[in-house]
A = this chain, B = another copy of it.
Amino acid sequence: MVGNSNRVESFPDASDLEASLPVPTPSLTPLEVHKVPAPQDNPTLQSLKQRLSEVFFPDDPLHQFKNKSLFRKLVLALQYLFPILQWGSEYSLRLLKSDAISGVTIASLAIPQGISYAKLAGLPPIIGLYSSFVPPLIYSVLGSSRDLAVGPVSIASLVMGSMLREVVSPDKEPILYLQLAFTATFFAGVFEASLGLLRLGFIVDFLSKPTLTGFMGGAAVIVSLQQLKGLLGIVHFTTKMGIIPVMQSVLENRTEWAWQTVVMGLSFLVFLLVARHISSRRPELFWVSAAAPLTSVILSTVLSFIFKAQNHGIKTIGHLQKGVNPPSVNMLFFRGPYLSLAIRTGIVTGILALTEGIAVGRTFASLKNYQIDGNKEMVALGAMNMAGSCASCYITSGSFSRSAVNYNAGCKTAASNIVMASAVLFTMLFLMPLFYYTPNVMLSAIIIVAVIGLIDVRGAFLLWKVDKFDFLACTSAFFGVLLISVQTGLAIAVGVSLFKILVHVTRPNTVIMGNVPGTNSYRNLAQYREAVPLPSFLILGVESPIYFTNSIYLQERILRWVREEEEKIKKLNESSLKCIILDMAAVTAIDTSGLETLAELKKTLDKRSIDLALANPVLEVAQKLSQLGTLQLFGLERIYMTVGEAIAASSYKAQTSASCVVHRTSV
């Protein structure tokens, strides 16, 4: 059935071992023998270097510098550090036209959202405008995404607000609260930039999509419920984030509900939702939902001015300071009892802001078919937040909703962020008094509409269908956020996700394989119904690296397969078990515990007069096995390139003739 026999032998003195092989080599008829290239001199350091560069530089960021002149390298380096030099040098009027249109469009969205999100974070509304001015300018110089619209984002605002409010009240100690927010933003920036510089960007990958789906759904529900304060016009409201205290607050303060506020809030809520629905059904009408918030703000402000809303129980924003961002370096602190809170908040909001920013950047880059460098983006976002924290800005990132509008409005470069910042600057300098009559309920409606889009029921359903464990991570994040707290929900979900990986590694699958008729392939019997097991052989596929966490389990599990196979044989009176072949194709790594386990297994099977052969080890495993003396030490001699060849060699032993090719390969 099997024609050739290729042996994987990679230890230095294969000839010595040849003598001790169970298959008498001389009686094989080698049709063709491949030369064994001498093993490399220093594989340890080389492989370590290669491994580290794979871990930290998988994207090979310097490949464009190869084979270039020094001057060209300098230009490339500057363009690498400041992407604006790259696209700026080729900038044209045509591009400016596109960027100007999209910039003004996102500005009309950014101004009301900025004010609203600042309120979400417990900060004065003006901070939201400040944060829509400086960070976009910095990003347009450093950032490599052409579509990212930068500014305050809902999730990071929410989490910053909820973490800081647990300790300090923004109403009672507004200055301390502001200091905390700026300091946390500074640390978020430091954290983001360090992750990028240390090329540890993969840490954001640990927030899996299921986790984020659940987390954002939960956060959206919490935030929407919190907006009931504004929507119902309640004055005395809890500062807590849990669903229970919020609902208690809503129900206990029924006397404070103001019907005028409710009517106005619900009307604009419906208006915004309809606008959003229209845009989501017909993407070319993106400007309907993009313009809706500003339209609502203007309309509600005019209504509120005409009807003297504040006399009817409708609260308005009130006085807003004119002018550009004041410096806030003096408000940062690096000692005192609140330092650890600021650092903690910075790290959590920083990682959330990064996750959103990077994910949004990647999404639109893949739509337009260009690449962004995750680690470099992190440095850009980090620098933007560090600078922002010194100019009265709180945490910012790339916003999903505004970036989508930016993309649909036809932006070409990061210049759209500059246009947006200019529009915000104009607003701050000249239009601030107009916000005096803007009703607070309007901001609540804008927040609700923004976050409701984060609830992804369809996504959760897909998770349920494809992967139960992912769904569990998703729901535990959702209920963790809803019932306990935002950070706890996040921590639980990350824990569940990592636990899944560890369980998979700790309890790997082992499958029984058989021959697929008419081929040389051996496959899982449960998967390929036509595959047939071979008498006297037990072919096991091990579907995981063999590590200390699973080596004992695998040993026991394999022995259980053997026991069950022997019981079956006894019952059916088949020929007795002679050989176990482990298909190592999926054993992508092995550690010392794993090697010892294989040796133990070999010894145990030897006592029962059952042969053990290994088939198709990958490079890393073959290297470990070939480590000077390991094979001798562990008594593992029978290693073949394919299952078929392992069987051929054993069949030969059992007086079946077979013509064999001995492939010897170095590792």
Contact = CB atoms under 8 A, between A and B. Distances in A.
Interface of A: 4, 6, 32, 34-35, 37, 44, 48, 54-55, 58-60, 202, 205-206, 208-211, 362, 366, 369, 371, 374, 462-463, 465-470, 497-498, 500-509, 511, 516, 518-521, 523-524, 526-530, 541, 543-545, 547-553, 556-557, 559-560, 585-589, 591-593, 595-596, 600, 603-604, 607, 616, 618-620, 622, 624, 627-630, 641-642, 661, 663, 665-667
Contact of A529 (B37, B205, B587, B641): B37
A663 B529 CA distance: 10
B502 A498 contact: yes
B32 A518 contact: yes
A593 to B, nearest CB: 5
B619 A526 contact: yes
25 contacts: A4-B518, A6-B521, A34-B530, A35-B529, A48-B468, A55-B507, A206-B549, A209-B592, A209-B593, A369-B604, A374-B552, A465-B628, A466-B630, A501-B501, A508-B588, A511-B619, A518-B661, A521-B641, A521-B642, A524-B619, A527-B619, A529-B665, A543-B620, A585-B586, A586-B618
Nearest to A462: B592
Contacts of A641: 516, 519, 521, 523, 528
A500 B545 CA distance: 12
B527 A665 contact: yes
B504 A589 contact: yes
A547 B35 CA distance: 39
Given A366-B600, A511-B619, A556-B58, A516 B6 contact: yes
A37 to B, nearest CB: 5
A497 B548 contact: yes
A212 B49 CA distance: 27
Contacts of A518: 4, 32, 661
Contact of A663 (B528, B552, B628, B661): B528
A519 B593 contact: no
Which of A543, A548, A607, A630 has the largest number of chain B CB atoms within 10 A?
Answer: A548
Given A6-B519, A202-B553, A208 B665 contact: no
B553 A205 contact: yes
Given A59-B556, A466-B627, A524-B619, 13 more contacts: A6-B516, A34-B530, A58-B560, A206-B548, A210-B591, A501-B505, A504-B545, A505-B505, A509-B618, A518-B661, A521-B642, A543-B620, A586-B588
A329 to B, nearest CB: 36
8 pairs of A and B residues whose beta carbons are closest in the complex? A208-B548, A543-B588, A527-B619, A585-B585, A586-B586, A34-B530, A528-B665, A55-B507
Nearest to A596: B209
Contacts of A509: 54, 588, 618-620
A528 B667 CA distance: 7
A598 to B, nearest CB: 12
Nearest to A54: B507
A258 B213 CA distance: 70
Which of A58, A466, A467 has the largest number of chain B CB atoms within 10 A?
Answer: A466
A609 to B, nearest CB: 13
A635 to B, nearest CB: 15
Nearest to A666: B529
A519 B465 contact: no
A209 B37 CA distance: 34
Given A209-B593, A549-B206, A519 B642 contact: yes
A478 to B, nearest CB: 16
A550 B665 contact: no
A622 to B, nearest CB: 6
A507 B202 contact: yes
A64 B5 CA distance: 41
B591 A60 contact: no
A303 to B, nearest CB: 45
Contacts of A592: 209-210, 462-463, 466-467, 470
B543 A663 contact: no
A318 to B, nearest CB: 45
Contacts of A548: 205-206, 208-211, 497
Nearest to A554: B58
A618 B522 CA distance: 12
Nearest to A544: B588
B618 A527 contact: yes
A589 B559 CA distance: 24
A48 B469 CA distance: 10
A296 B470 CA distance: 62
Contacts of A60: 560
A375 to B, nearest CB: 11
A327 B21 CA distance: 62
Contacts of A37: 529
A619 B519 CA distance: 19
Which of A508, A547, A591 has the largest number of chain B CB atoms within 10 A?
Answer: A591
A237 to B, nearest CB: 36
B628 A519 contact: no
A482 B445 CA distance: 60
B560 A202 contact: no
A316 to B, nearest CB: 45
B665 A530 contact: yes
Contacts of A208: 547-549, 591, 593
Nearest to A524: B619
A369 B468 contact: no
Which of A467, A506, A595 has the largest number of chain B CB atoms within 10 A?
Answer: A467
Contact of A465 (B209, B498, B627): B627
B527 A622 contact: yes
A463 B211 CA distance: 37
Given A58-B507, A527-B618, A604-B369, A44 B468 contact: yes
A59 B560 contact: yes
Nearest to A464: B44
Contacts of A32: 518
Contacts of A209: 548, 592-593, 596
A362 B552 contact: yes
